[in-house]
Amino acid sequence: MFQNNPLLTKLKKNLHAKIPRVEGIVKSHERGFGFLEVDAQKSYFIPPKNMKKVMHGDKIIALLKIEKDREIVEPEKLIEAFLNRFVGKIEKKENRLFITPDHPFLKERIICQPNQNCMNIFEHGDWAIAKLIRHKLKGDHIFYAELHEKITKEDDPFTPWWVTLARHQIDRTEPLAEENDLILKDNYPRKDLTNLDFITIDNINTKDIDDALFVNEMPNGKISLIIAIADPTAYIKNGSKLDSIASQRGFTNYLPGFNIPMLPRNLSEDICSLNPNKRRPVLACHVIILKDGSISNKIHFFLAWIKSKSKLSYDHVSDWIEKLGRWVPPMPSIQKQILTLHRLCLLRIKWRKINAVVFKDTLEYRFHFSEYGHVIDVSVEKRRIAHKIIEECMIIANISAARFLSKNLGFGIYNTHSGFDIVNAENVVSFLKNYNLNFNAQEITTLKGFCNLRRVLNIISNNYIDSRIRRFQSFGDLSIIPGPHFALGFLEYATWTSPIRKYSDMINHRLLKSIIQKEKAIKPDEEIKFKISEQRRRNRIAERDISDWLYAILLKQKKYHNKKFYAEITDISRHGIRARLIENGAYVFIPGMFVHEIREELNFNQEVGKVFINDIMHYQISDIIQVILLDIRLETRSIIAKIER
């Protein structure tokens, strides 16, 4: 009687139209249910039966309903699928292929098949690049993906690298050079400095050597410094095929265990590299360091030929200065260079402590691998005096380049940092009052005031206060026009000292050369600036993801189970504590249940970076705690720990 009744159909449509709708992002839970996050404060429950229609991360419109006196949502329309292009692991079962996305919240197997252009044969355990082409919320009965490319097989020891690079769409091999790429192309006149005792100081295994130094004592305590930088733009023409490749890559990608060069290795590690006793073209900068450590206004950039007299290592030079070990400089002239560079370094550090900002020493961690690529250990490396010598010389070079570009062109690729905006400056002032530190918001938004604040914080040396202040700071950026770098404490800063490894430095090389040769300079556009920044971000995320995977593999070994570690608290979230193991640098997560047994008595305050139990502060960011490893999850690359009391 009621079948095909147009009035009833219309009534149903009207009733359906009146049901309220909400838009948000799906967040899944490992128990099968989920939540639709509408904003930071509001979310709605998605029952398990409704979660089968969507995936974690999907942006959807859902119907808001009441079920058993509880607000729930029913997914109605897909706005944007979380999965598009993705990487995952293949499962082969009864000649059917499935792929599980490599994501901690996406564990559903998706039916898949190679697309028509894919020539790979897929086996169980393979890793692959896929694209989701069917979605249940689009009216399809299943989720379905096409396989586009095989990444690697299951037992490849380099899986962490290849899968991560594929996910972030980063090249896994070096660019190839054509014969013409290896020929010197510019015919500019160059000053012959091959008789001077230039030296290089790098890690002992460094092959792509960018910089060489020559110093000379002058009367009245002054020091003459020549910074010679490798000149790949002498081989790579602007707009050439290789230049285009370098601009796309942006950087040499330094990953645990190896690097992926921005330029072909026969350029970056041979023809352009400032290898010992090899005549090389360079872009050079001559500066005078005054006896108070300041840089003279007389800055001279020029093209030259040099021949490095010795390749030195950070550890050997540091050992000799600190009177450790048995290594000695190979010649008296090299010894003199090291001693003068050491004096220059101390002068500059003293000057920067008074006039700019000095960096705190931090620990660095280095993975060690077997000959087959398996991770076997991690070592701790500290910044030693030789690292600081090179750092100070490169800072001098980059300040000088910024001044030179600003004076002659008014543009370039500048590294900038704006300190605090006015709102965050007010927050900083309010926070510091709790520690009887009185500052003015207007003052600390100036370069001078910011530097003064950083110097006071360095004297106080309170890691908790320091971490809170950094939370209010802006991020570093690139700029086409001159601007201050608050975090370094300089009015302007432009890097040009790593052109083998950084495309932005290649751009500045060409601009510096145009000034030297009195040629027309081409102003960089905003697009290249954003491209470089984005590539840097992707490289850093990839390095972090690979490190997390390697730590999970390493700590999964039996000898680390239930081992106690000291760790520094680095973050407080709503659900637990994130900390870094001091012994090896791995990050661990401590869920609330392993912080305190009674959840209702716990308060994780993200705003202040502290953990309260019964309103009493027990832990805060920067605290050193002792933890025990409980669970290492390879599939999510996460390490779960508990606090040892």
* CA-to-CA dists, residue 302 to 189, 512, 517, 593, angstroms: 10, 9, 9, 63
Domains and CATH numbers, the chain: 18-80 (2.40.50.140), 85-155 (2.40.50.640), 183-416+487-545 (no CATH), 422-473 (no CATH), 556-643 (2.40.50.140)
Q: What is the pLDDT of residue 333?
A: 96
Q: What is the pLDDT of residue 1?
A: 47
616's CB contacts (< 8 A; 6+ apart) are: none
Whole-angstrom distance, CA of residue 461 vs CA of residue 51: 49
Of the candidates 286, 246, 535, which has an alpha carbon nearest to the alpha carbon of residue 396? 286
Catalytic entry in 102, 126, 197, 202: 202
Q: What is the pLDDT of residue 180?
A: 87
Whole-angstrom distance, CA of residue 162 vs CA of residue 151: 7
Residues of the chain with pLDDT under 70: 1-17
Q: Is 349 exposed, middle or buried (0-12, 13-18, 19+ CB in 10 A)?
A: middle
210-248: burial string, b at 16+ Cβ within 10 Å, e else: bbbbbbeeeeeeebbbbbbbbbbbbbbeeeeebbebbbe
12's enclosing H/E stretch is helix 6-18
H helix intervals, 517-580: 526-555
**Catalytic residue status for 210:** yes
Do 200 and 383 form a contact (C-beta atoms < 8 A)? Answer: no
Catalytic entry in 210, 243, 319, 505: 210
Q: Is 13 exposed, middle or buried (0-12, 13-18, 19+ CB in 10 A)?
A: exposed
Q: What is the pLDDT of residue 48?
A: 93
Q: What is the pTM of this model?
A: 0.91
Catalytic entry in 280, 352, 455, 501: 501
**Catalytic residue status for 155:** no
429's enclosing H/E stretch is helix 422-433
Catalytic entry in 211, 243, 545, 548: 211
Catalytic entry in 58, 102, 208, 545: 208
Q: What is the pLDDT of residue 223?
A: 97
Q: What is the pLDDT of residue 13?
A: 56
368-369-374-375 Cα dihedral, nearest 10 degrees: 0
Whole-angstrom distance, CA of residue 28 vs CA of residue 47: 10
What is the 3 state secondary structure string of 400-416? Answer: HHHHHHHHHCCCCCEEE
Catalytic entry in 58, 190, 235, 314: 314
**Catalytic residue status for 197:** no
Do 255 and 194 form a contact (C-beta atoms < 8 A)? Answer: no
